[in-house]
């Protein structure tokens, strides 16, 4: 969850608050606590709040703009409720809550929601755990039935086998996101040094492996009984519903669940450090890291917002001190500051990744000099304005989905007791002053001590910032009072049969967004749609070419990406910093980036500031400065990023996989970022020539979605007539490599905690209503859904991975079919066996009747979620203009899905799953995994991280 609560509300107008405190009770004894409506000029999320007799808080936001509903159940329990020796329980239980309950079968939660056309997940942080689903509004009762069943009827379904499988899954998650990821242990190391031993923030949410190994199923059940009662939860429902409808269903499904033990909010003092605590560790990284962390203020405290502003001035964006002093001067690849705040405390952190030629000790010195510079220069009026506008606009830009609105209400209720905290939150950000910032600087940073963490490449322990001077001290720790003895599991008594899954209401009517098309005199195609739910405009500019153009001269591979980076810098009129400042004050963003066959520009603006934003877009698009200093810095950063790829197993796996699929001589076999040799040869003149030759109106498309109309936006885009339309020759696709038989290609990564697996072949180009679309339907049950055969096998049944799947990824050019996962090292060979077994079985035996019905239902009903936000509409329109799709293609897809037969699916599987002609790429610890791989019957070929034979 973002540090700032992710707000989401409709903003047809800035409207205000009418709070009607209610004390009446309905006949069912459910209390209406308050009703908030729009009135006046304030900004609010309308809702009604109720409390059931068992203590469950129910919040309902009514929004009929789209036929969807979002259900969120937030429990006020995270890792901060855990104890020494039992870390990771809250997160572990998040996994267990998806494993079935008395009336919901094993793995059925994902299946039921997916089959209903919905999406779902859960998340855990220090302070809360939430479970949520977005689905068509006719499935509301099903969602509430599922959530209530795991709240009140879970524990008898928690078996030792499920416990062990999910313990393996959590270990895999830790391996993937912490142990096997560069800098993955930074947060764990810094937290243990910052907080006293036993403080619940001194460990991470994922927990320690030894605690996961030590815990047993009864420990986990006790954790549930203590914290997962309705009186420690908030049920928030938003979307195409009514309060009366939601309350009635909440009473039915949640009302009989008994109240749990009382839960009190916790308050702990922030740690006070008596000296700078230097700690360090070695990691498989290229860039060393310096991180300085100062204890700061909790979330929603008066000091939180000024600390946020302080972090922005010191280290956020191109106008920050750290960027100016460290990044711009080519001393560091990255340098930033942030102030993440949680319920029990905050952490003001400064992080620097220097170039390998710099020392961490020098970085610490430069950071301290930057702090002194801030003391002297203070806060400018410009910085204050940028911060306030950027904050409010950043929130507005997320205010487009019912999920966002619902999540905001849930979080505000959980942490403040007031779902209507949005106006207060906005008020405190608007009210922050320069004096506030200097006050918190003096209170938390100036002359204060920090945890100073050094992460250094393996074998370079001597390069730390300073010698370690701190070790965790367990003395003085007093275990808290036992909260788990005497807990009993008392199931609810019902007057209905919970085993009967609720029937769905009538299918909602889903309307494909209406759109318009136009064209500029110089050939730029434009497609647009009005979306006035939020007062913003989103633009996507797509220029054909990208990495594919580099086939003309592969010795300059990476030039498209470097050119896009240069277009994010200075224009002829403004410096990069000036453009960044203007955009922040407008609440806008403009970003250039290059992909495999497109260069793209993404523009986001408040509707009222669109003219000024487009003026800056014109500057960057048509009048780039191409400054030599900017080029030198970006080229150096690119070269270091290329060198750094060897430390990232997933990147290595994907690069080697592409090299094998496309083959030598194919530009797509080279990463779009380029190679050390190719980027090293690129000059600024090369970039200018690439821009002049290929950045052309003749190969450009534009998508416009937002609070504007065709007749309004087209005159604003008149500047595009100045964009020269030049002939751009897009190279033809080179023939990919052939695969004579399935082989394993092994890349060594010493001591890797996990192995990265990629399996596949070169398959199909995109076709919205042809073979490609049908093949996607075929693959859905094999590897496209959470409850696909591949994921259920490798994750849920075997516990080998945190997640596994497969899919097709074609564009105008044929793209690969890929099955992939990160798996535990000791099951690398077994994982390959299971991948290939599932693919082969599906190819030979095909789909079952039940699976086909599931696929049709899941894909067919998902349309309700496709067009809700501006970005979703923009992506939809982008496909229409890119692939020249006709207006009726969605209906054609629906007809194909409805009528596709089991025989057709089976024929597609037989045709498009050539198990005997696939590449298998594995990046892992050769010493540990090669012997097992050699026993599988495939030829094992060793290659380096560039895909070259060893």
Structure tokens at 150: 């795991």
* C-beta of residue 731 within 8 angstroms of C-beta of residue 665: no
Beta strands in 491-633 (DSSP E): 516-519, 525-530, 536-544, 589-594, 598-606
Per-residue pLDDT tens digits for 138-150: 999 999 999 999 9
Name which residue leads in pLDDT, 93 or 817: 817
pLDDT for position 12: 28
Tokens of 381: 């009026």
Give tens-digit pLDDT for 366-397: 999 999 999 999 999 999 999 998 888 877 77
> At 24, is the pLDDT very low, low, confident or very high (cuts 50, 70, 90)?
very low
Q: What is the mean pLDDT of the chain?
A: 93
Q: How many CB atoms lie within 10 A of CB 632?
A: 12
- pLDDT above 90 as % of the chain: 83
pLDDT at 306: 97
Distance of alpha carbon 82 from alpha carbon 165, whole angstroms:
22
Assigned token pair, 638:
């690119």
Residues 398-446: tens digit of each pLDDT: 677 899 999 999 999 999 999 999 989 999 999 999 999 999 999 999 9
Task: Give the C-alpha distances (Å, rounded to integers) separating 947 from 417, 688, 717, 808.
Answer: 56, 32, 46, 22
Over residues 504-534, the pLDDT tens digits come to: 888 887 888 899 999 999 999 999 999 888 8
In percent, the amount of the chain with pLDDT more than 70 equals 97
Q: Is the pLDDT of residue 177 over 60?
A: yes
- In the prediction, which pLDDT does 23 show? 34
CB atoms within 10 A of CB 478: 6
pLDDT tens track for 847-886:
999 999 999 999 998 888 888 888 899 999 999 999 999 9
| 233, 859, 862, 872 from 897: Cα distances, Å | 40, 8, 12, 21
Residue 538 has pLDDT above 80, yes or no: yes
- Residue 393 is predicted with a pLDDT of 82
Give the residue-averaged pLDDT of 643-670: 95
pTM for the full model?
Answer: 0.91
Angle of the 771-779 helix axis to the 902-912 helix axis, nearest 10: 100
Question: In terms of residues, how long is the chain?
Answer: 950
Give residue 875's pLDDT. 93
The model's confidence at residue 28, banded by pLDDT at 50, 70 and 90, is low
Contact at 8 Å (CB) between 26 and 255?
A: no
* pLDDT tens string 440-477: 999 999 999 999 999 999 999 999 999 999 999 998 89
Average pLDDT over residues 883-900: 95
Is the pLDDT at 5 greater than 60, yes or no? no
- Band (927; pLDDT cuts 50, 70, 90): very high
Mean pLDDT of 287-306: 97
What pLDDT was estimated at residue 42? 67
pLDDT number for residue 698: 96
If residue 405 lies in a helix (H) or strand (E), which one and from where to where?
A: helix 402-416
Cβ pair 336, 322 in contact under 8 A:
yes
- pLDDT tens for residues 541-578? 999 999 999 999 999 999 999 999 999 999 999 999 99
The pLDDT value recorded for residue 290 is: 98
Q: Is the pLDDT of residue 672 over 60?
A: yes
Distance set, CA 402 to CA 7, 147, 352, 533 (Å): 10, 19, 37, 11
pLDDT digits (tens, 9 = 90+) for 710-761: 999 999 999 999 999 999 999 999 999 999 999 999 999 998 889 999 999 9
Q: Which structural domains are found in the chain, ordered by start? A: 17-253 (3.30.830.10), 277-463 (3.30.830.10), 516-653+663-722 (3.30.830.10), 743-942 (3.30.830.10)
Query: Is pLDDT above 60 for 7?
Result: no
Strand 345-354 to strand 332-338: parallel, antiparallel, or no bridges (unpaired)?
antiparallel
| CA 17 centroid distance within chain | 32
């Amino acid at each position: 969850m973002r540090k700032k609560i992710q707000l989401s509300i409709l903003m047809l107008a800035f409207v205000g608050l009418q709070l009607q405190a209610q004390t009446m009770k309905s006949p069912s004894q459910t209390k209406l606590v308050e009703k908030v409506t729009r009135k006046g000029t304030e900004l609010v999320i309308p809702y009604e709040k109720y409390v059931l007799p068992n203590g469950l808080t129910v919040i309902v936001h009514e929004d009929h703009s789209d036929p969807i509903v979002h259900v969120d159940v937030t429990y006020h329990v995270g890792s901060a409720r855990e104890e020494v020796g039992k870390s990771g329980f809250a997160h572990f239980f998040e996994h267990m809550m998806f494993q079935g309950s008395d009336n919901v079968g094993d793995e059925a939660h994902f299946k039921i929601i997916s089959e209903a056309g919905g999406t779902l997940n859960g998340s855990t942080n220090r302070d809360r755990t939430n479970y949520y689903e977005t689905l068509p509004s006719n499935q509301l009762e099903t969602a509430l039935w599922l959530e209530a069943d795991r709240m009140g009827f879970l524990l008898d379904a928690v078996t030792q086998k499920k416990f062990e499988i999910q313990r393996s899954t959590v270990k895999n998650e830790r391996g993937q996101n912490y142990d096997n990821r560069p800098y993955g242990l930074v947060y764990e190391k810094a937290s243990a040094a910052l907080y006293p031993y036993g403080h619940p923030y001194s460990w991470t949410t994922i927990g320690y492996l030894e605690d996961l190994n030590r815990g047993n199923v009864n420990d986990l059940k006790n954790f549930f009984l203590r914290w997962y009662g309705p009186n420690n939860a908030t049920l928030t429902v938003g979307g195409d519903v009514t309060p009366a409808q939601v309350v009635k269903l909440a009473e039915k499904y949640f009302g009989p669940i008994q109240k749990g033990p009382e839960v009190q909010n916790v308050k702990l003092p922030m740690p006070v450090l008596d000296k700078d605590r230097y700690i360090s560790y070695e990691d498989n990284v290229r860039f060393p890291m310096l991180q300085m962390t100062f204890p700061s203020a909790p979330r929603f405290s008066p000091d939180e917002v000024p600390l946020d502003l302080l972090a922005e001035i010191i280290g956020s964006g191109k106008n920050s001190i750290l960027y100016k002093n460290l990044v711009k001067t080519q001393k560091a690849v990255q340098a930033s500051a942030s102030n993440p705040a949680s319920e029990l405390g905050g952490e003001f952190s400064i992080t620097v990744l220097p170039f390998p030629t710099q020392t961490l000790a020098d970085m610490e010195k430069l950071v301290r000099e930057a702090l002194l510079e801030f003391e002297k220069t203070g806060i400018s009026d410009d910085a204050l304005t940028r911060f306030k506008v950027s904050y409010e606009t950043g929130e507005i830009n997320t205010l487009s989905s019912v999920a966002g609105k619902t999540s905001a209400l849930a979080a505000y209720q959980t942490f403040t007791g007031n779902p209507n905290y949005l106006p207060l939150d906005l008020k405190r950000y608007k009210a922050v002053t320069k004096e506030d910032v200097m006050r918190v600087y003096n209170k938390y940073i100036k002359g204060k001590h920090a945890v100073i963490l050094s992460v250094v490449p393996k074998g370079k322990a001597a390069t730390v910032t300073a010698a370690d001077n701190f070790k965790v001290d367990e003395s003085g720790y007093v275990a808290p009072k036992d909260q788990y003895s005497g807990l009993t599991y008392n199931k609810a008594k019902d007057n209905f049969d919970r085993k009967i899954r609720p029937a769905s209401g009538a299918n909602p009517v889903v309307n494909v967004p209406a759109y318009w098309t136009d064209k500029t005199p110089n050939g730029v195609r434009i497609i647009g749609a009005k979306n006035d739910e939020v007062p913003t405009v989103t633009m996507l500019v797509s220029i054909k070419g990208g990495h594919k153009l580099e086939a003309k001269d592969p010795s300059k591979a990476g030039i498209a990406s470097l050119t896009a980076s240069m277009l994010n810098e200075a224009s002829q009129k403004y410096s990069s910093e000036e453009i960044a400042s203007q955009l922040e004050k407008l609440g806008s963003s403009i970003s250039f980036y290059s992909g495999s066959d497109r260069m793209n520009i993404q523009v986001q603006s408040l509707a009222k500031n669109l003219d000024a934003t487009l003026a800056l877009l014109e500057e960057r698009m048509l009048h780039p400065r191409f400054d030599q200093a900017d080029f030198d810095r970006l080229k150096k950063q690119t070269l270091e990023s290329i060198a750094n790829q060897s430390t990232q197993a997933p990147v290595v796996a994907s690069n080697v996989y592409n090299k094998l699929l496309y083959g030598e001589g194919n530009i797509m076999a080279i990463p779009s970022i380029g190679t050390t040799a190719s980027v090293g040869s690129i000059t600024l003149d090369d970039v200018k020539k690439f821009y002049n030759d290929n950045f052309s109106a003749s190969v450009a498309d534009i998508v416009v979605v937002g609070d504007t109309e065709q007749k309004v936006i087209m005159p604003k885009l008149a500047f595009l007539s100045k964009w020269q339309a030049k002939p751009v020759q897009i190279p033809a696709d080179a023939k990919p490599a052939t695969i004579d038989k399935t082989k394993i290609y092994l890349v060594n990564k010493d001591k890797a905690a996990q192995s990265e697996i990629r399996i596949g072949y070169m398959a199909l180009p995109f076709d919205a209503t042809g073979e490609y679309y049908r093949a996607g339907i075929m693959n859905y049950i094999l590897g496209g859904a959470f409850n696909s055969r591949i994921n259920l096998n490798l994750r849920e049944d075997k516990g080998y991975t945190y997640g596994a799947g497969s899919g097709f990824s074609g564009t105008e050019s044929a793209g690969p079919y890929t099955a992939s996962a990160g798996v535990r090292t000791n099951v690398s060979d077994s994982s390959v066996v299971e991948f290939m077994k599932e693919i082969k079985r599906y190819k030979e035996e095909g789909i079952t009747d039940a699976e086909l019905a599931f696929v049709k239902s899941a894909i067919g009903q998902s349309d309700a979620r496709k067009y809700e936000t501006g970005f979703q509409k923009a992506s939809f329109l982008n496909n229409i203009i890119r692939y020249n799709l006709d207006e009726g293609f969605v209906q054609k897809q629906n007809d194909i899905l409805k009528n596709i037969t089991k025989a057709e699916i089976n024929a597609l599987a037989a045709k498009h799953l050539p198990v005997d002609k696939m590449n298998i790429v594995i990046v892992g610890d050769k010493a540990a995994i090669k012997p097992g791989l050699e026993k599988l019957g495939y030829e094992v070929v060793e290659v380096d991280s560039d895909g070259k034979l060893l």
